[in-house]
Chain A
Amino acid sequence: MGRFIARRLFFFIITLLTTSILIFALIRAAGGNVAAILLGKNSSAEEIHKLSAELGLERPLPVQYFEWMNNFLHGNLGAAFRSKQLASHLIWTQAPVSVPLSLGGFLLAILLAIPLGTYAAKNYNKPSGAIVAVLSQVGIAIPVFWAGLLLSLVLGVHLHILPTGGWTPWSDSVVGAMRSLVLPIFTLGIVMASTLTRYTRTAILDVMNEDFVRTARASGMSRRVALIKVGLRNASLPLVTVLGLLAAEMVGGTVIIEKVYSLPGISRMILDNVTAREVVVVQSTVMVIVIYVMTINLIIDLAYGLLDPRIRVTK
């Protein structure tokens, strides 16, 4: 187990380092002249040159990268060129929107998909199972923002049950904040659940034919108990991979959902800062998001490693 954890952690760090180089290269290589954009159209070459030098943007890129990384690792995520606001402060103010939304959607997806997928697999030859399978097939094809649009149209605009968008800060009203998160979380949850339901169904169908399920049945377990006790646990191996991919999808979904329900979350912040060429802020924010996703991945991996001895060996 120790070796397994060490291996996972090693890969975690290598991935983050590679990602940081990619982020830096992508944003800097394609970013154009930051100082020129900051100063606007009517600036002279001299002014641009002066500001670039002031901001330290004229030094070699590797030097800038190492400085950024060094600061980042010491908890200094940099500040915006214009407003001088700290990136960490900006991220911290968006987190109460984006974190509950993304995690809520992720958990809802798992809570919906595992029972539904198991049910669909168990009843694969009955109409009820087929209905679940068809629904998940349709759900996969629905773009997350369209689901959000339709839900807010029906529940918000026409039925007035929930707010169609906008955000009530937690400090103003906890209930209000939760109310503005219900629809976004629900949207994200059901769309992600469709994919997961399908994978769960396939994984369990695969497992159903295995000898150990037959043995469990022969030992007197009912079909249901054998499936849940033996089947689900053994089907978890392929599901770990899917959950990992879903964690990355969750961030994408969150970004889009925030836009649909006009929530002041991470997506608005990135969009604003990318447009304003606040390169340091963008770099650090993207890096924080990647760390967030990778940490969820790591937790899932380690949890399953504890549950399932095979993962410790195979990976």
Chain B
Amino acid sequence: MSLALKIPKIRASGIWKKSRLPLVIGGSLTSVMVALGIVSIFWVPRDVNGIDPAFRMLSIGTPHHLFGTDYLGRDVTSMLMAGLRTSIIIGSSAAFLSLVIGTILGMVASSVSKLDEPIMRMADIFMAMPGIIFALVLASTIGPGYLTTIFALTSFFTPAFVRVTRASSMRVLAEDYIAVARLYGRKRLFITFRHVLPNISSILIVQFTIYFAAGVLSEAGLSYLGVGINRPSVSLGMMLHEAVEQIGISDPLCVWPGLAIVILVIGLNLLGDGLRDHFDPRFSQRVR
């Protein structure tokens, strides 16, 4: 009893420190959602395309159909799990490819002065473009699907990675120890991998989580428009697209997929914030 009362008085420490809260919450939300997505690769309660007219529009909490079924009797729980998997695969692949390409281009821009201007102007141009319109055109011309969506998202996420990599590696290259390394006779490539990359990796990890989240949102948007992921694959955006037909008849169908997206994205964004504070504590303490 007395122990329980004392707890609030103890200064918060360890993972419960106030500044660590985003990291903990974000990390947990992300882990749960990613775990559900991974499980769905091996097992889902029911076939996601299994139409069963006898069990149409079941409500939430029905035995064997935890989140009910849709207008064709498909199990919503299974579709939510498979949808999460799609969101995670596309979001993380697009963010990862952008990370790799963007980091390479950003490093080249920061260390090869001749290529700096062309690379950065190209990045500016891509950044100013309305990505969704291009994704739309792309999907309708070469056909929707995983690869098209990942390709479209990567094209429009890469510039942000180029900018961030360039800016932060410029900062590292201006440090004294780089000058020393140069005097020591280290080659440019060695400096890049030995000194610059490790020093900017934390920034890139944060950037990755943020664009992972952006990828999840964009994929949902494209699939909602019907140019992202289509059946037999399942996507959360696509589920919402299908749920629109049932608006006013079965409203929960419009709620669950959206909620799943929001939880995953909040998780990833909080994780990004938390990681940034973790890597750079000055950021959270700067405010006095």
**Which residues on A are within 8 Å of B, measured CB to CB?**
11, 14-15, 18-19, 22, 26-27, 30-32, 124, 137-138, 140-146, 149-150, 152-153, 157, 164, 205-206, 208-209, 244-245, 248, 251-252, 255-256, 259-260, 267, 270-271, 274-275, 282, 286, 289-290, 293-294, 297
Contact = CB atoms under 8 A, between A and B. Distances in A.
Contact of A27 (B137, B257, B270): B137
15 contacts: A30-B142, A138-B262, A146-B254, A149-B244, A149-B258, A153-B254, A209-B286, A209-B287, A252-B130, A256-B132, A259-B225, A271-B227, A286-B134, A290-B130, A294-B128
A31 B140 CA distance: 9
Contact of A32 (B138, B141, B251): B141
B90 interface: no
Interface stretch (B45-53, B177-185, B213-221): B213-221
A150 B269 contact: no
A274 B136 contact: yes
B251 A138 contact: no
A15 B133 CA distance: 17
A274 B130 contact: no
A30 B130 CA distance: 19
A293 B227 CA distance: 23
B88 interface: no
Interface stretch (B102-110, B119-127, B197-205): B119-127
Interface string B220-250: 1100110100000000010010011001100
A238 B124 CA distance: 16
A22 B128 CA distance: 13
A289 B140 CA distance: 18
A149 B121 CA distance: 38
Nearest to A283: B137
B217 A143 contact: yes
Interface size on B, as a range, is 35 or more
Given A137-B270, A143-B237, A30 B138 contact: yes
Contacts of A259: 224-225
Nearest to A256: B221
Nearest to B270: A137
A29 to B, nearest CB: 8
Contact of B140 (A267, A274, A294): A274
B128 A293 contact: yes
Contact of B247 (A14, A26, A27, A153): A153
B136 A271 contact: yes
B288 interface: yes
Given A124-B287, A145-B240, A157-B247, A252 B221 contact: yes
B145 interface: no
B133 A256 contact: no
B261 interface: yes
A180 B235 CA distance: 29
Contact of B125 (A15, A124, A260): A15
B245 to A, nearest CB: 12
B212 to A, nearest CB: 12
A255 B132 contact: yes
A137 B266 contact: yes
A16 B127 CA distance: 13
Contact of A150 (B122, B136, B254): B254
Given A26-B134, A143-B221, A256-B221, A248 B237 contact: no
A289 B258 contact: no
Given A205-B287, A244-B128, A14 B121 contact: yes
B142 A140 contact: no
A285 to B, nearest CB: 9
B57 interface: no
Nearest to B265: A141
B171 to A, nearest CB: 16
B129 interface: yes
Q: Which of B130, B142, B254 has the most CB of A within 10 A?
A: B130
Nearest to B220: A143
Contacts of B132: 251-252, 255-256
B131 interface: yes
Nearest to B163: A241
Contacts of A150: 254-255, 258
Nearest to A31: B141
B133 A149 contact: no
Contacts of B261: 141, 143, 146
Contacts of A30: 138, 141-142
Given A143-B237, A149-B247, A289-B133, A26 B220 contact: no
Interface string B254-283: 110110011101100110000000000000
Contacts of A270: 133, 136-137
B221 A15 contact: no
B138 A248 contact: no
Contacts of A152: 247
Interface string B60-85: 00000000000000000000000000
A275 B130 contact: no
A31 B139 CA distance: 11
A248 B128 contact: yes
A289 B213 CA distance: 26
Contacts of A142: 258, 262
Contacts of B125: 15, 18-19
B221 A149 contact: no
A259 B261 CA distance: 19
Contacts of B127: 245, 248
